[in-house]
Chain A
């Protein structure tokens, strides 16, 4: 896979990327709960879930192939692809959806006015809208992570690559007077994944696991033809 270089000019210290190995993912969804715990993702409850309003920043899509008895099921973890050319960014009238210098597609919650153009324009359905205020039955709210904003009604939200964990990892490295090491920073989903199907790191570091794995012959991008240039490379499952 061709490494896409950023715009010339300013050197960029980090470019956060992920690799998802479909030959390892077993669909266990440890990553989904990890994401909920880390990112204060609200509970929707059965009624809102039935309306299609449940929020998951990462989901495991399951595809059936073939017919009984020659049937197969495949899994694909899908989250925001942090596209370098993100279709959600230009359509936002208030610049709530923007690209950070480190390659993250970010959402500024207090700019968002809830027009949902970005959600409609995301080909990966990675963005989700808060149709109501979140609510936790006490004392469940004691678990909420103070490092992450709780999103209110009328706001668009999505995976941030656990930007708070990236920030903490960088601060920790800085305090210790050293550069960030490969593997220091893991988003919650990556941290939990038992099979190590998810790998995260700095694509600008040619020796990082993520940079090496992204060059695998098994690599591909979701909906590559759209030219979104995602920061996530998938490695295809080997079962033929």
Chain B
């Protein structure tokens, strides 16, 4: 193990249970490896357990404060390589998922028609055989749609699906598939590489929302803080390009409002200048390939279509070329169009031209911990949903659908057509822990434990300079009659193949695999595993910083630039529609947690609802007042939401946060606000099949009634500053002492 146990406890400011010196009257905080039996719980004393956050797929390490058997607070695990003691808003709010009043308390079977949403409780002894039976006798294929899984659970689930000859898909509302596809083509790797932002001194972001809920939010936050103020006399510069001044853009030194879908074209323009006006570090032999990619554009055209001036484009190219450690990074809006794949190739290529691959401050890749063995599971892109639905209908096969912890009926637009896939199913079973829009259609629900009640592990991928895997362990006794998905899968496998071989239980399987992993990897391989295991649990996992960097080569960036396609004629639908994930609600998954509902949106201070954003000039021209209800029409439907005058938005764009508009999903989420996904057109990124969420054109119709808009900020501070607090900062900035 990398870290000595004592150092670790010291870093946490904790004492290990049982290691107290005699004479100390009362411990205050102690870190314990295992969940304690009742008779070892000391009233009023906090026990801390290490585990791994499951609110997103970043896999931050956590320590959980438990008093008298109840989880009180989640903090970051200070020694965990991903989040280094820090935690995002969602990660902390996981406590309200554990203690959510609307959690499913045990297995349920549907009674009556699907639309009635009526269920009766059943026991596990009824539910499990029923599902096994259904799977055994299904005529159609078994299809499982799951949130992305990692480590041992991913193996167990994929083996189960393999054993019933089914198909397993990972579904995530914004997995950045075009970026993944471009990385795969450019570098020939399947995982996303690391962006070494902490060491960069010029970050050029094409819509990448890295200071929001994107890829690995906490680690980007840490890197950003270092990039700005963590080095002596070296403050990294940051330029953000996006049609909207997002939460991420707000931290930029400069924001450039680009015309939607033109991110790739701008990258081509910059690349063109890098090759023609600046010295490229590319070997001469490789230049022609780049020249054919970037050479074909004219600066006039780029400026005209991107709506960014030639002077600005030249300025960007110059700064990028002159920086010691420039970094071009694309995501978010750059993934939102039909040409997203090509855009990302152009953006990634900028990094090669200036030679910052495999360098500090650039794009890097490391060897990951080989704990898991499962084959790569395909993503369920929106285009694949469409193809699946069509294929099943054409062959008249009725699938048996299994769902785990994802909600495609909420997050995929009806045009895709996700509903038809569900309607066509012969039987639906869900393992999710709450009644969201997808799970509510199920015939049978066998709910999983909450993350803080279960076992698991998480393998940290090639983006981490640590070979790391972290452990998930129960920190409280399960509140309800739920079961961990791993155990449910093992049980079903056994019922279906009728054998009693295989692992006894999921926790045992985890421990066995970690023992094997440990024996082949650790310097402590000679020690008895039980004591090592306790240390691993206490530390939260295994991480070694001595990891080899893998060489990355830009193999092929050949792609012809494609202009983006949009749905809707300009005469009827003159405005671009730009749905973006609400930073606090994580694509709607957080909408059932009251802390997140009441967390003011940083940019608007809105709580508990939806809104649309409109440039104040556009609003004035259309007579739309702040707070007034507006109906947004596309060719595919309409949504209503109150207007917020938003100064940081292109005048030809209407923006709207994604996350609200649930019809189910518990008391805090249901019937609140509107879901922008419901009006999107079925256009896809050509290569990856991801929904082009920025490709729908709309029209705005003021409804002349006030909408339900709750802003926490006092009127008068919305536009033009004018607050006392900030005006103090302004004059001082000119005469600040240094």
Residues of A within 8 A of B (CB): 21-24, 26-30, 32-34, 36-38, 43-46, 49-50, 52, 54, 56, 59-69, 71-76, 78, 123-124, 137-146, 168-169, 171-172, 175, 184, 188, 191-197, 217-218, 220-225, 234, 236, 238-240
Contacts and interface: CB of A to CB of B under 8 A. Distances in A.
Specify which of A71, A76, A124 lies most central, judged by the most chain B CB atoms within 10 Å of its CB: A71
A26 B27 CA distance: 36
A49 B710 contact: yes
B113 interface: no
Contacts of A23: 228-229, 235
B178 to A, nearest CB: 25
Nearest to B100: A140
Label chain B's interface by main secondary structure.
Answer: loop
A76 B726 contact: yes
Contacts of B712: 49, 52, 54, 56, 59
Contact of A143 (B99, B250, B584): B99
B376 interface: no
A33 B90 CA distance: 8
Nearest to B71: A143
Contacts of B101: 137-140
A68 B251 contact: no
Contacts of A27: 211, 247, 250-251, 602-603
Contacts of B597: 46
Interface in B690-738: 708, 710, 712-713, 717-721, 723-726, 728-729, 732-733, 736-738
B200 interface: no
Interface string B75-114: 1100000010111110011011011110000000000000
In the complex, the 5 A-B pairs of residues with the closest C-beta atoms, listed nearest first: A194-B221, A195-B225, A217-B738, A46-B608, A27-B602
A81 B251 CA distance: 24
Nearest to A197: B225
A238 B236 CA distance: 11
A175 B20 CA distance: 10
Contacts of A30: 86-89, 92, 218, 221
Nearest to A220: B732
Contacts of A137: 101, 667
Interface string B227-250: 011100001000000000101111
A64 B73 contact: no
Nearest to A238: B235
Nearest to B584: A29
Contacts of B609: 46
B13 A184 contact: yes
Contact of B729 (A43, A139, A236): A236
Contact of A172 (B28, B44, B212, B249): B28
B29 interface: yes
B600 interface: yes
Contacts of A69: 256-257
Contacts of A45: 594, 598, 608
21 contacts: A21-B229, A27-B250, A28-B211, A28-B217, A34-B92, A37-B595, A43-B595, A46-B708, A64-B719, A67-B647, A68-B616, A68-B648, A78-B725, A143-B70, A143-B71, A169-B13, A191-B76, A194-B86, A196-B230, A217-B736, A236-B736
A168 B725 CA distance: 33
Contacts of B737: 217
B710 A192 contact: no
B221 A54 contact: no
A168 B28 contact: yes
B482 interface: no
A43 B83 CA distance: 28
A21 B600 CA distance: 21
B648 A71 contact: yes
A195 B224 contact: yes
Nearest to A144: B72
Contact of B599 (A22, A26, A29, A65): A29
B65 to A, nearest CB: 8
Interface string B243-273: 0010111110101110000000000000000
A144 B596 CA distance: 17
Contacts of B732: 220, 236
Contacts of A54: 598, 607, 712
B725 A46 contact: no
B56 interface: no
Which has the most chain B C-beta neighbours within 10 Å: A21, A137, A171?
A: A137
Given A33-B92, A168-B29, A218-B736, A196 B728 contact: no
Given A75-B602, A142-B99, A224 B648 contact: no
Contact of B602 (A60, A139, A145): A60
Given A29-B584, A29-B599, A61-B723, 13 more contacts: A27-B247, A43-B595, A54-B598, A60-B600, A68-B617, A76-B726, A124-B725, A143-B73, A171-B28, A172-B13, A191-B75, A194-B87, A220-B732
Interface in B599-620: 599-600, 602-603, 605, 607-609, 615-617
Nearest to A234: B729
A160 to B, nearest CB: 16
A195 B222 contact: yes
Nearest to B710: A50
A46 B235 contact: no
B530 to A, nearest CB: 29
Contact of B95 (A143, A169, A197): A143
A74 B724 contact: no
Nearest to A138: B101
B75 A223 contact: no
B13 A28 contact: no
B725 A76 contact: yes
Nearest to A215: B737
Nearest to A194: B221
B29 A172 contact: yes
Contacts of A218: 736
A46 B607 contact: yes
B323 to A, nearest CB: 17
A5 to B, nearest CB: 20
B425 interface: no
A234 B733 CA distance: 12
Nearest to A51: B710
A175 B250 contact: no
Contact of A46 (B70, B96, B710): B710
